[in-house]
Structure 1
Protein backbone atom coordinates (compact mmCIF):
# COMPACT_ATOMS: atom_id res chain seq x y z
CA UNK A 1 0.00 0.00 0.00
CA UNK A 2 2.95 2.33 0.83
CA UNK A 3 2.85 5.62 -1.06
CA UNK A 4 -0.85 5.28 -1.90
CA UNK A 5 -1.69 5.11 1.81
CA UNK A 6 0.20 8.38 2.32
CA UNK A 7 -1.48 10.10 -0.60
CA UNK A 8 -5.08 9.07 0.01
CA UNK A 9 -5.28 8.67 3.80
CA UNK A 10 -3.88 10.17 6.97
CA UNK A 11 -0.53 8.65 7.89
CA UNK A 12 -0.54 7.85 11.59
CA UNK A 13 -2.74 10.92 12.04
CA UNK A 14 -0.34 13.24 10.18
CA UNK A 15 -1.18 15.32 7.14
CA UNK A 16 0.28 14.48 3.76
CA UNK A 17 2.80 17.34 4.02
CA UNK A 18 4.02 16.22 7.43
CA UNK A 19 4.31 12.63 6.25
CA UNK A 20 6.34 13.59 3.18
CA UNK A 21 8.49 15.99 5.22
CA UNK A 22 9.21 13.20 7.65
CA UNK A 23 10.17 10.76 4.90
CA UNK A 24 12.28 13.10 2.76
CA UNK A 25 13.35 16.08 4.86
CA UNK A 26 13.30 14.96 8.45
CA UNK A 27 15.81 13.43 10.77
CA UNK A 28 14.61 11.38 13.74
CA UNK A 29 15.99 12.83 16.96
CA UNK A 30 14.19 10.89 19.66
CA UNK A 31 11.21 9.16 21.17
CA UNK A 32 9.37 9.75 24.43
CA UNK A 33 7.96 7.26 26.93
CA UNK A 34 4.54 7.38 25.24
CA UNK A 35 5.98 6.26 21.90
CA UNK A 36 5.72 9.65 20.14
CA UNK A 37 8.58 10.18 17.66
CA UNK A 38 10.25 13.58 17.25
CA UNK A 39 11.85 14.91 14.07
CA UNK A 40 13.92 17.89 13.01
CA UNK A 41 14.34 19.23 9.48
CA UNK A 42 17.69 18.58 7.84
CA UNK A 43 17.84 22.13 6.45
CA UNK A 44 17.27 25.36 8.36
CA UNK A 45 14.76 27.93 7.14
CA UNK A 46 15.11 31.51 8.40
CA UNK A 47 17.87 30.40 10.75
CA UNK A 48 15.85 27.67 12.48
CA UNK A 49 15.23 24.02 11.81
CA UNK A 50 11.58 22.99 11.82
CA UNK A 51 10.65 20.46 14.52
CA UNK A 52 7.61 18.19 14.70
CA UNK A 53 6.14 15.11 16.33
CA UNK A 54 4.44 12.03 14.94
CA UNK A 55 2.05 10.82 17.64
CA UNK A 56 1.63 7.20 18.56
CA UNK A 57 -2.13 6.98 18.75
CA UNK A 58 -4.48 9.94 18.75
CA UNK A 59 -3.21 13.39 17.82
CA UNK A 60 -3.42 15.26 21.10
CA UNK A 61 -0.93 17.94 22.07
CA UNK A 62 -1.45 17.14 25.76
CA UNK A 63 0.27 13.80 25.07
CA UNK A 64 3.61 15.58 24.54
CA UNK A 65 5.64 15.50 27.79
CA UNK A 66 6.80 18.92 29.10
CA UNK A 67 10.48 18.35 28.27
CA UNK A 68 9.68 17.50 24.64
CA UNK A 69 7.26 20.44 24.44
CA UNK A 70 10.20 22.69 25.32
CA UNK A 71 12.32 21.10 22.61
CA UNK A 72 9.55 21.40 19.98
CA UNK A 73 9.19 25.12 20.69
CA UNK A 74 12.91 25.86 20.65
CA UNK A 75 13.37 26.39 24.39
CA UNK A 76 15.92 23.57 24.41
CA UNK A 77 18.55 23.24 21.68
CA UNK A 78 19.55 19.68 22.53
CA UNK A 79 17.14 16.78 22.91
CA UNK A 80 15.73 16.54 26.47
CA UNK A 81 17.68 13.40 27.42
CA UNK A 82 20.93 15.33 26.80
CA UNK A 83 19.87 18.79 28.01
CA UNK A 84 17.90 18.10 31.18
CA UNK A 85 18.84 16.46 34.47
CA UNK A 86 17.17 13.21 35.42
CA UNK A 87 13.71 13.60 36.98
CA UNK A 88 13.44 14.09 40.72
CA UNK A 89 11.88 11.27 42.77
CA UNK A 90 8.94 13.50 43.76
CA UNK A 91 8.00 14.39 40.17
CA UNK A 92 5.03 12.61 38.64
CA UNK A 93 4.71 11.50 35.04
CA UNK A 94 2.84 13.89 32.75
CA UNK A 95 -0.71 12.77 31.97
CA UNK A 96 -2.71 13.50 28.83
CA UNK A 97 -5.84 15.63 28.88
CA UNK A 98 -8.74 13.24 29.50
CA UNK A 99 -11.54 15.70 28.67
CA UNK A 100 -14.10 14.08 26.39
CA UNK A 101 -13.16 10.54 27.37
CA UNK A 102 -14.75 8.10 29.80
CA UNK A 103 -11.90 8.74 32.22
CA UNK A 104 -12.53 12.51 32.45
CA UNK A 105 -13.07 14.07 35.87
CA UNK A 106 -16.74 14.21 36.79
CA UNK A 107 -17.52 16.06 40.05
CA UNK A 108 -20.23 14.92 42.42
CA UNK A 109 -23.60 15.84 40.97
CA UNK A 110 -22.47 15.77 37.33
CA UNK A 111 -25.15 14.31 35.08
CA UNK A 112 -22.54 12.23 33.22
CA UNK A 113 -21.56 10.58 36.50
CA UNK A 114 -25.18 9.71 37.30
CA UNK A 115 -25.31 12.12 40.22
CA UNK A 116 -28.05 14.43 41.32
CA UNK A 117 -27.78 18.10 42.20
CA UNK A 118 -28.29 19.07 45.79
CA UNK A 119 -31.64 20.61 46.58
CA UNK A 120 -31.70 24.42 46.54
CA UNK A 121 -31.59 25.85 50.06
CA UNK A 122 -33.50 29.08 49.44
CA UNK A 123 -30.57 31.35 50.33
CA UNK A 124 -30.36 32.65 46.77
CA UNK A 125 -32.18 35.73 45.61
CA UNK A 126 -32.38 36.28 41.87
CA UNK A 127 -31.29 39.62 40.45
CA UNK A 128 -34.03 41.78 39.04
CA UNK A 129 -33.39 44.83 36.85
CA UNK A 130 -35.93 46.97 38.77
CA UNK A 131 -34.42 46.29 42.17
Structure 2
Protein backbone atom coordinates (compact mmCIF):
# COMPACT_ATOMS: atom_id res chain seq x y z
CA UNK A 1 0.00 0.00 0.00
CA UNK A 2 2.80 2.41 0.91
CA UNK A 3 4.52 1.61 -2.39
CA UNK A 4 1.45 2.69 -4.38
CA UNK A 5 1.08 5.91 -2.39
CA UNK A 6 4.75 6.76 -2.85
CA UNK A 7 4.45 6.12 -6.62
CA UNK A 8 1.58 8.62 -6.81
CA UNK A 9 3.09 11.38 -4.68
CA UNK A 10 6.85 10.91 -5.18
CA UNK A 11 6.84 10.99 -8.99
CA UNK A 12 10.42 12.28 -9.35
CA UNK A 13 11.94 9.13 -7.84
CA UNK A 14 10.59 6.58 -10.30
CA UNK A 15 8.08 6.12 -13.12
CA UNK A 16 4.63 7.55 -12.47
CA UNK A 17 1.59 5.28 -12.54
CA UNK A 18 0.60 7.00 -15.80
CA UNK A 19 3.92 6.09 -17.42
CA UNK A 20 3.65 2.49 -16.28
CA UNK A 21 0.08 2.34 -17.61
CA UNK A 22 1.19 3.78 -20.97
CA UNK A 23 3.98 1.21 -21.25
CA UNK A 24 1.52 -1.57 -20.47
CA UNK A 25 -1.18 -0.31 -22.86
CA UNK A 26 1.24 0.13 -25.74
CA UNK A 27 2.72 -3.31 -25.23
CA UNK A 28 6.21 -1.95 -24.65
CA UNK A 29 8.82 -4.54 -23.84
CA UNK A 30 12.04 -3.98 -21.94
CA UNK A 31 15.04 -3.96 -24.27
CA UNK A 32 17.84 -3.48 -21.77
CA UNK A 33 19.33 -1.77 -18.76
CA UNK A 34 22.42 0.42 -18.41
CA UNK A 35 25.08 0.56 -15.69
CA UNK A 36 23.10 3.25 -13.80
CA UNK A 37 20.02 1.01 -13.50
CA UNK A 38 17.96 2.93 -16.09
CA UNK A 39 15.60 0.63 -18.03
CA UNK A 40 14.88 1.03 -21.75
CA UNK A 41 11.66 0.04 -23.51
CA UNK A 42 10.42 -0.16 -27.09
CA UNK A 43 6.83 -0.28 -28.32
CA UNK A 44 5.84 -3.58 -29.91
CA UNK A 45 4.11 -3.74 -33.26
CA UNK A 46 2.97 -0.39 -34.57
CA UNK A 47 5.19 2.43 -35.75
CA UNK A 48 4.68 6.18 -35.64
CA UNK A 49 4.19 8.58 -38.55
CA UNK A 50 7.94 8.66 -39.17
CA UNK A 51 8.09 4.85 -39.43
CA UNK A 52 9.87 4.39 -36.09
CA UNK A 53 8.70 2.54 -32.99
CA UNK A 54 8.38 4.65 -29.85
CA UNK A 55 11.16 4.22 -27.27
CA UNK A 56 11.31 5.14 -23.57
CA UNK A 57 13.74 5.31 -20.69
CA UNK A 58 12.65 4.77 -17.09
CA UNK A 59 15.25 6.35 -14.84
CA UNK A 60 16.36 4.67 -11.66
CA UNK A 61 15.97 7.33 -9.02
CA UNK A 62 15.93 10.98 -10.01
CA UNK A 63 15.09 11.62 -13.69
CA UNK A 64 18.12 13.31 -15.23
CA UNK A 65 18.83 13.08 -18.96
CA UNK A 66 22.58 13.44 -18.41
CA UNK A 67 22.51 9.97 -16.83
CA UNK A 68 21.79 8.32 -20.20
CA UNK A 69 25.04 6.97 -21.73
CA UNK A 70 25.81 7.91 -25.34
CA UNK A 71 25.12 4.45 -26.79
CA UNK A 72 21.64 4.34 -25.21
CA UNK A 73 21.04 7.98 -26.21
CA UNK A 74 21.73 7.04 -29.82
CA UNK A 75 19.32 4.13 -29.60
CA UNK A 76 16.56 6.27 -28.00
CA UNK A 77 16.83 8.82 -30.82
CA UNK A 78 16.88 6.16 -33.57
CA UNK A 79 20.51 6.84 -34.51
CA UNK A 80 21.15 3.11 -33.99
CA UNK A 81 18.61 0.45 -34.91
CA UNK A 82 19.87 -2.23 -32.53
CA UNK A 83 20.10 -1.56 -28.79
CA UNK A 84 23.56 -1.58 -27.13
CA UNK A 85 22.72 -4.92 -25.53
CA UNK A 86 22.83 -6.51 -29.00
CA UNK A 87 25.52 -4.43 -30.72
CA UNK A 88 27.57 -2.36 -28.27
CA UNK A 89 29.36 0.74 -29.52
CA UNK A 90 33.01 0.28 -30.35
CA UNK A 91 35.00 2.19 -27.73
CA UNK A 92 38.04 4.20 -28.74
CA UNK A 93 41.18 4.01 -26.60
CA UNK A 94 40.96 7.72 -25.77
CA UNK A 95 37.31 7.63 -24.62
CA UNK A 96 36.50 8.01 -20.93
CA UNK A 97 33.62 6.35 -19.09
CA UNK A 98 30.31 8.21 -19.05
CA UNK A 99 29.59 10.31 -15.95
CA UNK A 100 26.34 12.17 -15.33
CA UNK A 101 26.28 15.92 -14.72
CA UNK A 102 27.11 16.43 -11.03
CA UNK A 103 26.22 20.13 -10.83
CA UNK A 104 24.11 20.83 -7.77
CA UNK A 105 25.18 17.67 -5.96
CA UNK A 106 27.71 17.12 -3.18
CA UNK A 107 30.07 15.71 -5.82
CA UNK A 108 30.08 18.88 -7.94
CA UNK A 109 33.40 20.50 -8.87
CA UNK A 110 34.32 23.23 -6.39
CA UNK A 111 37.54 25.01 -7.33
CA UNK A 112 39.80 26.73 -4.84
CA UNK A 113 38.26 30.07 -3.91
CA UNK A 114 34.70 28.92 -4.54
CA UNK A 115 32.18 29.93 -1.88
CA UNK A 116 31.31 26.28 -1.32
CA UNK A 117 34.91 25.05 -1.25
CA UNK A 118 36.51 24.14 2.06
CA UNK A 119 39.97 25.08 0.76
CA UNK A 120 41.39 28.54 1.42
CA UNK A 121 41.60 30.92 -1.54
CA UNK A 122 45.01 31.73 -2.97
CA UNK A 123 46.62 34.93 -1.77
CA UNK A 124 46.22 37.84 -4.19
CA UNK A 125 49.13 39.45 -6.00
CA UNK A 126 51.23 41.97 -4.05
CA UNK A 127 50.31 44.92 -6.29
CA UNK A 128 46.58 44.59 -5.62
CA UNK A 129 45.01 47.04 -3.20
CA UNK A 130 41.33 46.77 -2.33
CA UNK A 131 39.26 49.94 -2.67
CA UNK A 132 37.73 51.35 0.47
CA UNK A 133 35.17 54.20 0.57
CA UNK A 134 37.05 55.83 3.47
CA UNK A 135 40.19 56.39 1.41
CA UNK A 136 40.68 59.91 0.17
TM-score with structure 2 setting the length:
0.73
Change (3 A) 1:109 1:12: closer
The 8 Å contact of residues 30 and 39 in structure 2, kept in 1 or not, is answered as: yes
| Residue of structure 1 aligned with 2:108, choices 79, 84, 104 | 104
Higher strand share: 1
Higher helix share: 1
1:8 maps to 2:8: yes
SS in 2 for 1:53: strand
Cα distance in 2 for partners of 1:4, 1:88 equals: 44
Q: C-alpha displacement at 1:44, in angstroms?
A: 1.5
SS in 2 for 1:83: coil
Partner of 2:75: 71
Q: Which moved more, 1:84-93 or 1:108-117?
A: 84-93
| Residue of structure 2 aligned with 1:44, choices 44, 47, 53 | 47
Q: C-alpha displacement at 1:19, in angstroms?
A: 2.0
Change (3 A) 1:111 1:12: closer
Partner of 1:126: none
Q: C-alpha displacement at 1:24, in angstroms?
A: 2.7
The CA deviation string for residues 39-66 of structure 1, in whole angstroms up to 9 with x for no partner, is 0112322122111111111111111111
Partner of 2:66: 62
Cα distance in 2 for partners of 1:5, 1:117 equals: 51
> Root-mean-square deviation (CA), in Å?
2.8
Q: Which runs of 5+ in 1 are unaligned?
A: 124-131
Q: C-alpha displacement at 1:116, in angstroms?
A: 3.1
TM-score with structure 1 setting the length:
0.76
